[in-house]
């Protein structure tokens, strides 16, 4: 066992993954989490890795960017993704989890690891440069520490407004109006679908855009800066009468057999709903349902009134109403190396959404890399960069100073980025078919990571692992 300790601040997805990777390298970890002593506008529990916005990790298929990222994380025994796999719930072609079982399992695994000590208090200062520290406090970093980070970096923090969708009790929806199906019949019929005709849709949209908003305090003092991938549903509605119908309320690919023959064009045109609201299961039995794409800043009383206008939800009971909160992130290309070390302090690393990655799997990827490199630093070894050909490497390149070397992104304002095939290097040969091209990206990533992992395993002394994920 290595005597030098690593400090991880924040027990979200990135912090949990980082702590696990460090401990499994034989290095002791102090994992600091401020909950339950101090909470955030979005959290409801003190569990590690609590999912606050959605329960979905994105597409499963490795020929999709999110799916490839998940596959890479499995290759490195990611605690986050393997736990997600274990507690997956039906979600068509996506990886979605039972939130409660997921976070409970993470908390138990971390609490029971002999090299992880979980400390519950608010970290008010950055540890000294003599300490190997991973900053994984997420986009809801408490003000006191956020101010210390800003003072340390000398760079003003960026921000955007994020939101979470409501969750309703599954036994309070009207199953005579709601039908189960996945888009294009992909996977199990995992979604509950609420069809709307044109008049219902127009009336719903009208109430949505005029509904009373919750007070965000400082929100009204500055321009609205929404993250485009997580817009409030009322903001989407304001952008045009049909915007929702081409976004979260699109009906394409969804069909109820009660409407007749899908392959009869005349019947299909006649019976296709004007719009469809989808509900995704939060647990295997469907006791809790998430309103897909319904992030919102409406007042809670308005959410109950307006969302009950949706056919099938007239008597819906809400477990949790939607909320909006300010998310803070670093201007990482000015601050971080591709190893996730800060340029001006090699013993301080950052991981997760605070670095400007977007999505659960991306947060885990940052935690994975930061954990690996913190372990190497504790062993007095040089940190590593993931291969450019991998989705992990490409994503980290984008949010680090390597982004400035590889592209002209430094000319533009830095904004959070999810996993995307647009980030990976081009192939050496041209493939016109997009699906085949994405498959080639996946195969190239697999080969690059096989070689990389052999070298990494020898450096981390994997033959001395204390714990493996079952």
Q: Tell me, what's the pLDDT at 192?
A: 95
Q: Which residue reads 């601050």 in tokens?
A: 335
In this prediction, residue 228 has a pLDDT band, given cuts at 50, 70 and 90, of low
Q: pTM score > 0.85 for this model?
A: no
Decide if 281 contacts 90 (C-beta within 8 A). Answer: yes
Please provide residue 358's backbone torsions phi and psi, each rounded to the nearest 5 degrees.
-125, 130
Residue 143 has pLDDT above 70, yes or no: yes
Token pair of 86, please? 């274990």
Q: How far apart are CA 161 and CA 327, in angstroms?
A: 6
Higher pLDDT: 123 or 139? It is 123
Question: For strand 29-33 and strand 6-9, is the pairing parallel, antiparallel, or unpaired?
Answer: parallel
Q: Is 207 left (phi over 0), alpha (psi -120 to 50) or beta?
A: alpha
Q: Tell me, what's the pLDDT at 322?
A: 87
Q: Report percent pLDDT > 70 for the chain.
A: 91
Token pair of 87, please? 């507690």
Q: Tell me, what's the pLDDT at 404?
A: 59
Token pair of 92, please? 């068509």
Residue 451, Cβ density class (10 Å: 0-12 exposed, 13-18 middle, ≥19 buried) = exposed
Residue 262, Cβ density class (10 Å: 0-12 exposed, 13-18 middle, ≥19 buried) = middle
Q: Tell me, what's the pLDDT at 266?
A: 77
Q: Which 8-state DSSP code applies to residue 22? A: H
Q: Tell me, what's the pLDDT at 229?
A: 61
In this prediction, residue 10 has a pLDDT band, given cuts at 50, 70 and 90, of very high
Residue 219 has pLDDT above 50, yes or no: no
Residue 158 has pLDDT above 60, yes or no: yes
Q: Tell me, what's the pLDDT at 226?
A: 62
In this prediction, residue 262 has a pLDDT band, given cuts at 50, 70 and 90, of confident
In this prediction, residue 92 has a pLDDT band, given cuts at 50, 70 and 90, of confident
| Per-residue model confidence as pLDDT tens digits over 355-382 | 989 889 999 999 999 999 999 999 999 9
Please provide residue 88's backbone torsions phi and psi, each rounded to the nearest 5 degrees.
-70, 145
| Per-residue model confidence as pLDDT tens digits over 46-59 | 999 998 878 899 99
Of 251-260, 306-315, 347-356, 358-367, the range with the lowest mean pLDDT is 251-260
Q: Is 356 left (phi over 0), alpha (psi -120 to 50) or beta?
A: left
Q: Tell me, what's the pLDDT at 211?
A: 95
Residue 108: which of 86, 88, 75 has the closest Cα?
86
On average, the pLDDT of the chain sits at 88
Token pair of 148, please? 């210390």
Q: Tell me, what's the pLDDT at 460?
A: 83
| Per-residue model confidence as pLDDT tens digits over 95-126 | 999 999 999 999 999 999 999 999 999 999 99
In this prediction, residue 3 has a pLDDT band, given cuts at 50, 70 and 90, of low
Q: Tell me, what's the pLDDT at 466?
A: 41
In this prediction, residue 285 has a pLDDT band, given cuts at 50, 70 and 90, of confident
Residue 415: which of 350, 349, 335, 357 has the closest Cα?
357
State the average pLDDT over residues 302-326: 91
Of 176-180, 258-262, 450-454, the range with the lowest mean pLDDT is 258-262
DSSP string spanning 301-336?
Answer: HHHHHHHTTSTT-TT--EEE--EEEEEEE--GGGTB
In this prediction, residue 194 has a pLDDT band, given cuts at 50, 70 and 90, of very high
Q: How many other β-carbons are positioned within 10 Å of the β-carbon of residue 240? A: 11
Q: Tell me, what's the pLDDT at 464?
A: 45
- Give Cα separations from 222 to 209, 326, 327 (angstroms): 20, 12, 14
Q: Report percent pLDDT > 90 for the chain.
A: 64
Q: Tell me, what's the pLDDT at 84?
A: 97
Of 99-108, 286-295, 379-388, the range with the lowest mean pLDDT is 286-295
| Per-residue model confidence as pLDDT tens digits over 56-78 | 999 999 989 999 999 999 999 99
Q: Tell me, what's the pLDDT at 416?
A: 78
State the average pLDDT over residues 414-437: 87
Please provide residue 264's backbone torsions phi and psi, each rounded to the nearest 5 degrees.
-85, 105
Residue 326 has pLDDT above 80, yes or no: no
Q: How far apart are CA 139 and CA 156, in angstroms?
A: 14
Residue 343: CB partners within 8 Å, gap ≥ 6? 335, 336, 337, 401
Q: Tell me, what's the pLDDT at 413?
A: 65
Q: How far apart are CA 193 and CA 142, in angstroms?
A: 38
Residue 458 has pLDDT above 80, yes or no: yes
Q: Tell me, what's the pLDDT at 216?
A: 59
State the average pLDDT over residues 434-440: 92
Q: Which residue reads 């056919």 in tokens?
A: 311
The domains found in the chain, sorted by start residue, are: 6-157+330-464 (3.50.50.60), 164-324 (2.40.30.260)
Residue 172 has pLDDT above 60, yes or no: yes
Strand, coil or helix: 12: coil
Higher pLDDT: 469 or 389? It is 389
DSSP string spanning 260-291?
Answer: --TT-HHHHHHH--SEEEEEEESSTT-SEEEE
């Amino acid at each position: 066992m290595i005597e030098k300790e690593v400090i991880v601040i924040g027990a979200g997805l990135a912090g949990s993954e980082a702590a696990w990777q460090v401990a499994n390298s034989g290095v002791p970890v102090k994992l600091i989490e401020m909950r339950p002593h101090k909470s955030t506008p979005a959290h409801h529990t003190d569990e590690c890795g609590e999912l606050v916005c959605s329960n979905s990790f994105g597409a499963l298929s490795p020929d999709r960017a999110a799916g490839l990222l998940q596959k890479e994380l499995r290759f490195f025994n990611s605690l986050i993704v393997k736990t997600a796999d274990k507690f997956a719930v039906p979600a068509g072609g996506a990886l979605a989890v039972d939130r409660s079982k997921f976070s409970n399992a993470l908390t138990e695994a971390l609490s029971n690891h002999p090299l992880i000590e979980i400390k519950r208090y608010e970290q008010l200062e950055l540890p000294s440069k003599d300490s190997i520290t991973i900053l994984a406090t997420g986009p809801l970093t408490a003000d006191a520490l956020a101010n210390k980070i800003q003072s340390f970096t000398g760079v003003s923090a960026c921000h955007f407004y994020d939101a979470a969708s409501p969750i309703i009790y599954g036994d309070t929806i009207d199953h005579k109006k709601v039908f189960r199906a996945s888009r294009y019949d992909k996977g199990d019929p995992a979604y509950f679908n609420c069809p709307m005709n044109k008049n219902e849709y127009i009336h719903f949209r009208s109430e949505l855009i005029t509904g009373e908003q919750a007070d965000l305090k400082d929100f009204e003092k500055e321009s609205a800066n929404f993250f485009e991938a997580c817009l409030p549903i009322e903001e989407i509605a304001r952008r045009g009468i049909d915007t929702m119908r081409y976004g979260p309320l699109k009906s394409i690919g969804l069909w109820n057999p009660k409407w007749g023959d899908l392959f009869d064009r005349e019947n299909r045109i006649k019976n296709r709903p004007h719009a469809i609201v989808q509900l995704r299961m939060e647990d295997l039995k469907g006791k809790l349902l998430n309103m897909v794409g319904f992030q919102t800043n409406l007042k809670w009383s308005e959410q109950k009134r307006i969302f009950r206008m949706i056919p099938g939800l007239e008597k819906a009971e809400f477990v949790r109403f939607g909320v909006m909160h300010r998310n803070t992130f670093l201007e990482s290309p000015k601050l971080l190396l591709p190893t996730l070390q800060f340029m001006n302090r090699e013993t301080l690393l950052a991981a997760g959404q605070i670095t400007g990655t977007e999505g659960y799997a991306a947060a885990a990827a940052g935690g994975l890399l930061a954990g690996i490199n913190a372990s190497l630093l504790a062993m007095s070894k040089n940190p590593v960069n993931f291969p450019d050909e991998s989705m992990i490497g490409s994503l980290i390149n984008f949010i680090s100073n390597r982004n400035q070397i590889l592209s002209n992104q430094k000319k533009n304002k830095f904004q959070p980025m999810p996993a995307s095939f647009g980030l990976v290097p081009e192939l050496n040969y041209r493939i016109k078919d997009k699906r085949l091209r994405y498959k080639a990206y996946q195969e190239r990533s697999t080969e690059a990571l096989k070689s990389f992992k052999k070298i990494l395993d020898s450096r981390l002394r994997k033959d001395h692992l204390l714990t493996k994920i079952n």
